[in-house]
Amino acid sequence: FTARYLSDYQVSNFSIATVDLTFELADTATIVTSTMAIKRENKNAKQLVLDGEQLKLVSLQINQQDLPESYYQVSDTQLALDISADEFILTIVTEIDPLNNTSLEGLFKSGGAFCTQCEAEGFRRITYYLDRPDVMSTFSTKVIADKKSYPYLLSNGNKTAAGDLPQGKHFTCWQDPHPKPCYLFAVVAGDFDLLEGSFTTQDKRNVALEIFVDKGNLPKAHHAMASLKKSMLWDEETFGLVYDLDIYMIVAVDFFNMGAMENKGLNVFNSKFVLADNESATDTDFFNIEAVIGHEYFHNWTGNRVTCRDWFQLSLKEGLTVFRDQQFSADMHSAPVNRIKNVRLLRSKQFAEDAGPMAHPIRPEKVLEMNNFYTLTVYEKGAEVIRMINTLLGAAKFRKGMDLYFARFDGMAVTCDDFINAMSDASGVDLVLFKAWYHQSGTPILSVEEGFSNEQYQLTLTQTNPSQKDGSEGKALHIPVAIELIENNKVIRRQLLELTSEQQTWTFDNFVEKPVLAVLADFSAPVKLSINQTDQELATVMAFADDEFCRWDAGQQLMLNYIKALIDDSSFALPNSLLTTYQAIFDANTDNAFKAEQLSLPSFDEVVAEIAQVDPIKVVNAIAAVKLFLVTGLTASFEKTFIDNKASAYKYSGEEVGQRALKNVCLSYLSLLEQQQSKVVEQYQSSDNMTDTLAALACSADNNLVDLAGQLQHFEQKWHSTALVMDKWFSLAAQQCSTNIFSSLDRLLAHPLFSLKNPNRARSLVGNFSVNNPRYFHCQSGQGYQFLAEQIALLNEINPQVASRLITPLIQFRSFDLPRQKLMRAELEKLTTLKNLSKDLKEKLDAALA
Ligand code: HT7
Ligand code: ZN
């Protein structure tokens, strides 16, 4: 396996103007014929080297003449051709085996349907090609298959022909007018139910919207369709971006490595992000479907029309598109609650990645396996970086920057620098220093020092940036820090400070007494904050900051301080003042969804990110102790809020989602008290919706309540034939906080509905155990680590991409105490000896064990 470096980038020696593909679909022997119009761009380049993996080469022709064997060499990864002509037609016929392709890259089968996944480098598993994003071609595709089994034959662009063939076969031809890199190519063939809709663009064109789902699932596709229409309208209204084909198709499949894929005009989605109805989907499912549909749709401009020059630039499209989908969700729902959720994800998962062995800048510089770089850093931190540009420029100039970016680069494959230069040129804002966010890894620590004398308030901000992988020191970044100053319980000053060196001091005049600081309003930068605020100051921010994020975050900081105190000393006595502060959350006139976030304590991962080499069980115990203290002291408030927010029949609306969230947070607290646990049973029995059912089940699993077994059995009986709901069942069963968990896990692995070949299933059981059952994943015996490592070893053969994602909690062993480190390392070392260790796992194991 050889690493690739950003610094080695070179333009392609050859271009491909057009590619005509014919797929003769068959389970184990699909024939792909590719005819390409190729031109030599670099006269010094002798050989044309095409990428290709797991292909059987059937034939090869140049300008319709067979190419003698002495003119080409085939290896496991390449086809090298010696061709003297500068322009020629190359026809390659390959054979592939979709049925046995469990990696779900290239052409594979999901249930009965054929389906492709080409990003990042899956197209090379379909045919020999220049599989790189800066080679853009016009694609036309003919798909041939049995008509009865595969009535729908789909590809990118517009349908140009269709007809019947002998032996019960038929064909469909597609032409995509937009040149594109091969990672955006797609083919799907299957028997589906089709939900049809339409959208009229602002320039009055009619776009046919088609959502393909497994037979019987049509009623579950309406929310996805509504979400698509909202996304299309939002992009027109917010960014002036209009859809550019006559048809937009979405296909939902059950076997999929990630959430969804933005193939031009033919998105393929994990069915989890399409299918929903009131009985089987949670509020979170409804929310996520809208967000993911939005994300893939927004890629049509940020990703497809303007794409990446090379994969190191992935954040060019992903960071920007995540930022766009976050803004979309904020506009559709509560902006502050969305922001809080974004920050929770960043703090719990991205901060850990940035502190772990696979830490990389949002624009990585070295890659062994590209699939390993679809990370929280590239996506979520990447979105934070775009958000900072938005903050520094202001919304109007940011929009001007976006307009200039499209004016300059439409139809091109470009770099992150191109994007920033467009932003800077359009706005006149200097972003030279800012660019360091693209090449520096690690989470900056922002330290805050306050001073007050002679009616002057002094604020000193210091940034510390972690040293880099190459041993170099972390450099000062351009950090926007939005603050509020509160005097007499009122915000009297709001300002955006720009920290551009290691340390800067700001002075604010005319204060009678020292104001209270609310810092990082709206979480204006992806940094860790180091600040000493008293409980009283934090309570003031919680109650009186204008910025909702700051109000929420002050509560989190307060709780974090006490969780840390309990980790240091488990007998630490929590003060009753905490109860007063928490009671104020109940009493405030704020919306329910926000209250629910305020009442939710920092998660296990968020706490781990704050403490070096921590004993994980101490973290679990400390969080549980704070929770118990609060519910014991404020039982009546939790109970009243729980009862007051019981909604009637299920409806997915902002108001009711908030009510359910608040009610279920209260239930989670109350379930710690034996005398309140009947509420869990009652909610499970009376629930008419998945959100409440799962909330009750989670209480039973987290507290190992006696009713859990019966509830799981009842749930299984009711839902055994609904795959997405059974994923939830496996997740919950894996979350059970019980000493019997390991025998339960063995039973779950042997369950007839369990299969490691289905990524959703594998993630539900294996992923959820290792992420959401910290007491047993980190148990002293090391059994939790062993369980995960064993499943990863199996997945290494089946699906390296999924294996490589699931290994995350093990490679982050340095966050934990030395005994855990030793146990985790031992499992990682065992994995290094696997027979066919994939590139994906090798890259991570090498980094972790270095
Ligand atoms: N651009 C896509 C990224 C992706 C992917 C999707 C499905 C399966 C494998 C994949 N590898 C990379 C998804 C997105 O960000 O929208
Ligand atoms: Zn994306």
674 is catalytic: no
Minimum CA distance residue for ligand 1 atom 15: 318
Residue 318 CA, closest ligand 1 atom number: 15
For residue 491, what are the β-bridge partners? 486
From 119, 299, 314, mutation site for ligand 1 pocket: most ligand atoms within 8 A of C-beta = 119
| CA pair distance 448, 450, nearest whole angstrom | 7
Which pLDDT belongs to residue 299? 99
Is the C-beta atom of 325 inside 6 A of ligand 1? Answer: no
Is the C-beta atom of 262 inside 6 A of ligand 1? Answer: yes
Residue type, 500: T
Is the C-beta atom of 605 inside 6 A of ligand 1? Answer: no
From 266, 317, 374, mutation site for ligand 1 pocket: most ligand atoms within 8 A of C-beta = 374
Ligand 1: centre distance to CA 117 (Å) = 8
Mean pLDDT of 360-388: 98
Minimum CA distance residue for ligand 1 atom 1: 261
Is the C-beta atom of 257 inside 6 A of ligand 1? Answer: yes
Using DSSP bridges, classify how beta strands 516-519 and 479-487 pair: parallel, antiparallel or unpaired: antiparallel
Chain position carrying tokens 């880099």: 468
**Which ligand neighbours the alpha carbon of 321 most closely?**
2
Residue 379 CA, closest ligand 1 atom number: 15
Ordered alpha helix ranges (H), 569-689? 577-587, 592-599, 604-608, 616-633, 635-644, 654-670, 678-686
Which pLDDT belongs to residue 471? 93
Residue 257 CA, closest ligand 1 atom number: 8
pLDDT band at 247 (very low <50, low <70, confident <90, very high): very high
Q: Which of 262, 296, 369, 537 is catalytic?
A: 296
Minimum CA distance residue for ligand 1 atom 4: 119
CB 778 within 8 A of CB 607: no
Strands of 524-618 (E only): list them.
528-530
pLDDT in tens, 595-604: 999 999 999 9
Percent of the chain with pLDDT over 70: 100
Ligand 1: centre distance to CA 801 (Å) = 11
> Which of the following CATH numbers is that of domain 445-531: 1.10.3210.10, 3.40.120.10, 3.90.1010.10, 2.60.40.1840?
2.60.40.1840
Query: Is the pLDDT confidence value at 648 over 90?
Result: no
Ligand 2: centre distance to CA 318 (Å) = 5
Mean pLDDT of 654-660: 97
Minimum CA distance residue for ligand 1 atom 14: 261
Residue 801 CA, closest ligand 1 atom number: 9
Distances (CA, A) of 477 to 313, 427, 449, 461: 20, 20, 19, 12
Q: Which residues surround ligand 2, an ion (CB under 5 A)?
A: 318, 321
Using DSSP bridges, classify how beta strands 528-530 and 106-110 pair: parallel, antiparallel or unpaired: unpaired
Q: Give me the chain's average pLDDT, please.
A: 98
Structure tokens given for 309: 């020059």
**Which ligand neighbours the alpha carbon of 263 most closely?**
1
pLDDT in tens, 81-111: 999 999 999 999 999 999 999 999 999 999 9
Ligand 1: centre distance to CA 407 (Å) = 26
Ligand 2: centre distance to CA 78 (Å) = 28
On the question of a common fold for 4-191 and 445-531, the answer reads: yes
Name all contacts of 741-748 with Cβ < 8 Å and 24+ positions apart. Answer: 741/769, 741/773, 741/776, 742/776, 742/783, 742/787, 745/769, 745/787
- CA 346, 349, 355, 356 dihedral sign is negative
From 101, 185, 258, 804, mutation site for ligand 1 pocket: most ligand atoms within 8 A of C-beta = 258
From 108, 115, 261, mutation site for ligand 1 pocket: most ligand atoms within 8 A of C-beta = 261
Mean pLDDT of 19-27: 99
Mean pLDDT of 215-229: 98
Is the C-beta atom of 295 inside 6 A of ligand 1? Answer: yes
Helices 690-702, 283-298: inter-axial angle, 10-degree rounding: 110
CATH class of 4-191: mainly beta
CB 519 within 8 A of CB 529: yes
Mean pLDDT of 433-459: 98
Is the C-beta atom of 308 inside 6 A of ligand 1? Answer: no
104 contacts: CB under 8 Å, gap ≥ 6: 110, 117, 255, 256, 257, 759, 799, 801
Ligand 1: centre distance to CA 259 (Å) = 7
Residue type, 300: N
Residue 266 phi, psi (nearest 5): -140, 75
pLDDT in tens, 325-354: 999 999 999 999 999 999 999 999 999 999
Ligand 2: centre distance to CA 48 (Å) = 31
Ligand 2: centre distance to CA 770 (Å) = 25
Where are the domains positioned within the chain? 4-191, 445-531, 720-850
Ligand 1: centre distance to CA 118 (Å) = 9
Please give the CATH topology (third level) of the domain spanning 720-850: Zincin-like fold (1.25.50)
CB 654 within 8 A of CB 662: no
Residue 268 CA, closest ligand 1 atom number: 7
| CA pair distance 360, 799, nearest whole angstrom | 24
pLDDT in tens, 478-523: 999 999 999 999 999 999 999 999 999 999 999 999 999 999 999 9
Mean pLDDT of 463-475: 96
pLDDT in tens, 672-693: 999 999 999 999 999 999 999 9
Which pLDDT belongs to residue 427? 98
Mean pLDDT of 702-715: 98
Query: Is the pLDDT confidence value at 647 over 90?
Result: no
pTM score, whole prediction: 0.98
Mean pLDDT of 297-314: 99
